[in-house]
Amino acid sequence: MDATTIIRKFQEFLEKNYYATLAEKIRKGQQFIILSFTELSKFDPVLADELLENPEEVIKAGELAIEQFEFDKDVKNFKLRFSNLPLSQSILIRDIRSEHLNKYLSMKGIVRQKSDVRPQVTSARFECPSCGNIITVLQIDSKFKEPSRCGCGRKGKFRLVSKELVDAQKIVLEETPEDLDGGEQPKRLNIFLKSDLVSPITEKRTNPGSKILVNGILKEVPIPAKEGGKLTRFDLMVEANYVEPIEEDFIEIQISEEEKTKIKEIAANPQIYKMLVNSIAPNIFGHEKIKEALILQAMGGVRKVKKTGSITRGDIHILLIGDPGAGKSQLLKRISITVPKARYVSGKGASAAGLTATVVKDDFIRGYALEAGALVLTNRGLCCIDELDKMTREDRSAMHEALEQQTVTISKANIQATLRAETTVLAAANPKFGRFDPYEIIAKQIDLPPTLINRFDLIFPIKDLPDKIQDEKMANFILMLHQNPDTEETDIDTNTLKKYFAYARQNVFPRLSDNAFEEIKNYYVKMRSLGSTEEGGVRTIPISARQLEALVRLAEASARIRLSDKVTKKDAKHAIDLVHFCLSQVGVDPETGKIDIDRISTGISASERSHISIIREILLSIESKTGNNIIPIEDIIIEASSKDINENKVIEAIEKLKRHGDIFEPKRGFIQRI
C-alpha cells in the first residue's frame, strides 16, 4: 500500500469516527489521540494489517493525515496512539526474537526502574555558511548527526540554526510473576517513552511497581564496542506508542455504574460482615476473628494529614503468630490475590534492600538510580510478609520506619531520598521454638523485637491444640475440599470483592460520632484504671496510646464496610472486641492475671519490673547498713524472701540487672553496683 493511499484512508477513518474528539483535543492543546485498533480493522482490515507489519510508516502517514485537516490551530507533531491490539500481537518479553523487529507488539509487565525525563533531539536544522542553504537532518540514532555535505560542494563546518526537542524517558519492564515457568528469572526489556507518554499525568501510571501494558515498535540498538565501532550483537528496545495501567492501587481502579449499584446492594445487606468473612478465604477452616480483622485491614482506617504537616496513618498492620500448619501462609497468599496492588514476600528470600529500596547503576542517566523494594512497590497496597521470624535482625529493622512513619529514607551513593511507603503490612511468624508451649506465656514465645511488635495493631496467636470436635469438623472440611475441589462457593466473588474494597477506600471517609467517641474513651479509661488500682506498688499498664489509635482505625474500617460516613457505637464495639481479644490472648501477666501491654511492647512485665526495683532497693539498703559495696547474693535472697519474692525471681532479676550493666559479679556468689 503506497503512502498517499494510507493518508487518504486515514483521513476517511478519522472523519467518520473521531472528528469531534480530534477537534476537542486540538482545542484543548493536547497533542495526541487514542484510536481503537478494533474500529480500524472494521473500517479497513488491509490498513490494520499494514499497521502491524510496518507500524512506523503507517503511523507517520496517519499523523500527516491529521495535519491536512483544517482546524483553527496549526497541527504540528500530533501523535496517534493505538489501543485494543489483537491477541496475536500480544507477546511475552522472553519470546521476543529478531523476526519481531520493527513490528507493532503488545506486552505486559511490572515497571522495575524508571529514569528521569530528559529532552531528546528529533531533528536539527543546519545552515551552510557558503551558500546559505538550510539542511534538515532527522536524528534517528543515539548519536547527534551533522550533514556530511551541502549541494554547493562544501563539506563540514555547518552552523546549527535550530533543533526540535521532545521529552524522553526510559523505563525497564519486567515480566509478571504469573507468566513465569519453573526456575526462570524474569526477563527485562527497555521501553522508551516520548512526548505525551511522559507528561506528569501519565507519568504516575508508570511508577515503579505498577503493572502496565505497553503497545510499541520493537527496535534494535547498536552496542558500542570498547575499542570503538559497533558489536555484531544488538540490544533490543521498544519505542512505546501506548501505555495502559493494568493493576493500579485503590485510587485508580475504575468502577463502572453497574458495579457501583452491585456494591451498594451488598453493603445494604444486614449480613454483610458474615458474607465478607465467608468470601475472604473460603478454603481455610475457622479463624473467624482473624478473617474479620483481615477484612478491616483491607478496608483500612482514614489517613489524616493535619495542617501542621503531621500525618496519622490509616493503615492497620496485623501479625499472625502460630504453630506450623495452622494455615498462616495460605491466608497470606489468599489475601495477596483479593486486595488490589498486593505483594507476597517470604522471610529468608527478603533482605533490607529488597523490602525498602536499593541503589543501582543506571546507564541511561549515567549515574545511580533507585530501585524500589517490596514495601515501596506496594505503596497504597498490601504487603504480605511470611516467615518474619526467619529474617535477620538487620533486615527486620528496615521495616520500623515503613510501618509507623510510612516512608523509606535512603542515603546511599550520593542519593538522599525519601520514598512513600503507605503500605499495609500483614506478617506471619512462628513462635520461638517452632511451636507454642501450652504451659509458657505466649508473650515470652514471640521471638521478635518489642519495638517491631509494638507497631502492629493486632497480634493473633494461632494455637494448634488437639480437640476432638474441632478436629473432626476440620478433617471433614479439608477432605471435602480434596474430594470436590470445585464446590467452593462464596457469597461474593474475588473480582467483586476487589472492587468493593477499592470503592470503599476511594469514596468513604468516616468520622467518629459522639457515641463512638464515648465508647472508645470509656474502654480506654477503664482499662487504664484497672492497672492503677494495683496494690504493693506494681502498676500494670493494660493499654497504651498506640492501642487507642488502633481502636480508632479499626472502628473507621468497620464503618467503611457498610459504606457509612459515620463511625457508630456498634463499629466502636466491634473494634474493642477485636483489640480486647488480642490483648487477652497475648498480653496477660500470669502473676497478676491482668492485661499488661508491657508484656508485648517491652518484653518485661510490670510485676517483673517491680521485682527489679525491689532488688535494687535491697542492694542499696544492705550497702548503707554494712558500708561494704560487695554484697553476697545469699543476703539478698534472705532479704527478698521477707518481701514474698522467691529465690528464682531474685536470680532472674539479678541476671536482668547484670545484662543491662547496672551490676557485675566481682567474684562468684557476690555482686557489686557499677
In this structure, the dihedral spanned by the alpha carbons of residues 274, 277, 278 and 282, taken in order and rounded to 10 degrees, is -170
Three cell numbers, residue 220: 534494535
| 465, part of any domain | yes
Q: Are residues 16 and 154 in the same domain?
A: no
Q: How many CA atoms lie within 13 A of 351 on its CB side?
A: 5
Q: Are residues 413 and 456 in the same domain?
A: yes
Three cell numbers, residue 312: 496519622
Q: Are residues 64 and 100 in the same domain?
A: no
Q: Are residues 227 and 262 in the same domain?
A: no
Contact between 641 and 489 (Cβ < 8 Å): no
635 lies in which domain range? 606-673
Cα(335)–Cα(497) distance, integer angstroms: 11
Q: Are residues 395 and 482 in the same domain?
A: yes
pLDDT at 379: 80
User: Residue 646 belongs to a domain with what CATH number?
Assistant: 1.10.10.10
CA distances from 95 to 110, 169, 190, 387 (A): 17, 24, 15, 35
The pairs formed by 113-116 with CB atoms below 8 angstroms and a separation of 24 or more are 113/171, 113/172, 113/208, 113/360, 113/362, 113/369, 113/371, 114/169, 114/170, 114/171, 114/172, 114/206, 114/207, 114/208, 114/369, 115/169, 115/170, 115/171, 115/362, 115/364, 115/365, 115/369, 116/169, 116/365
- Give pLDDT tens digits for 544-597: 777 888 888 889 888 888 888 888 888 888 888 888 888 777 756 555 556 655
Contact between 515 and 281 (Cβ < 8 Å): no
CA distances from 469 to 118, 122, 327, 466, 476 (A): 67, 75, 19, 9, 11
| 298, part of any domain | yes
Give 134's DSSP letter: E
User: Residue 47 belongs to a domain with what CATH number?
Assistant: 3.30.1640.10
Three cell numbers, residue 566: 459515620
Contact between 583 and 519 (Cβ < 8 Å): no
List, in order, residues 6 or more apart from 127 with CB less than 8 Å away: 133, 134, 135, 158, 159, 161
| 662, part of any domain | yes
CA distances from 159 to 119, 122, 125, 145, 152 (A): 21, 17, 9, 13, 15
List, in order, residues 6 or more apart from 36 with CB less than 8 Å away: 82, 83, 84
Backbone angles phi, psi at 327, to 5 degrees: 90, 20
Q: Are residues 243 and 370 in the same domain?
A: no
pLDDT at 536: 43
Q: Are residues 431 and 344 in the same domain?
A: yes
Domain count, the chain: 4
Q: Are residues 41 and 129 in the same domain?
A: no
Three cell numbers, residue 64: 500527516
Give 183's DSSP letter: T
Q: Are residues 104 and 223 in the same domain?
A: yes
Cα(355)–Cα(376) distance, integer angstroms: 8
Task: Look at the chain and count its residues.
Answer: 674
Helix pair 545-561, 569-586: axis angle to 10 deg: 130
Three cell numbers, residue 14: 478519522
Contact between 597 and 543 (Cβ < 8 Å): yes
In this structure, the dihedral spanned by the alpha carbons of residues 129, 130, 135 and 137, taken in order and rounded to 10 degrees, is -60
What is the residue-averaged pLDDT of the chain? 79
Residue 212 CB burial class (10 angstroms; 0-12, 13-18, ≥19): buried
Q: How many CA atoms lie within 13 A of 436 on its CB side?
A: 21
| 573, part of any domain | no
Mean pLDDT per 10-residue section of the chain, whose length is 674 residues = 82 82 80 85 87 86 80 73 86 87 88 78 84 80 78 80 83 80 79 80 70 87 78 85 74 74 82 81 79 86 82 86 80 82 80 77 65 79 85 80 82 77 86 76 73 82 80 84 72 79 84 88 82 48 75 89 86 87 70 58 59 79 78 80 78 81 80 80
Contact between 438 and 323 (Cβ < 8 Å): no
| 355, part of any domain | yes
Give 228's DSSP letter: S
Cell 543515539 sits at which residue? 142
Three cell numbers, residue 541: 499498664
pLDDT at 614: 80
Q: How many angstroms separate the first and last alpha carbons of the chain?
A: 93
B/e letters for 221-240, b = 16+ CB within 10 Å, e = fewer, are eeeeeeeeeeeeeeebbbbb
Q: Are residues 22 and 132 in the same domain?
A: no
| 594, part of any domain | no
- Give pLDDT tens digits for 267-309: 888 888 888 888 877 777 777 888 888 888 888 888 888 888 7
pLDDT at 427: 87
| 387, part of any domain | yes
- Give pLDDT tens digits for 493-527: 777 888 888 888 888 888 888 888 888 888 888 88
List, in order, residues 6 or more apart from 8 with CB less than 8 Å away: 65
Q: Are residues 71 and 130 in the same domain?
A: no
| 413, part of any domain | yes
- Give pLDDT tens digits for 597-614: 555 555 555 566 667 778
**Cβ neighbour number for residue 179 with a 10 Å cutoff:** 15
Three cell numbers, residue 264: 451498594
Tell whether pTM > 0.75. Answer: no
Three cell numbers, residue 185: 528469572
Q: Give the residue from 178, 213, 247 where a domain finishes.
A: 247
Three cell numbers, residue 344: 507476597
User: Using alpha carbons only, what angle is made at residue 70 by residues 67 and 72, rounded to the nearest 5 degrees?
Assistant: 105
Three cell numbers, residue 638: 534472705
Contact between 534 and 525 (Cβ < 8 Å): no
Q: Are residues 210 and 327 in the same domain?
A: no
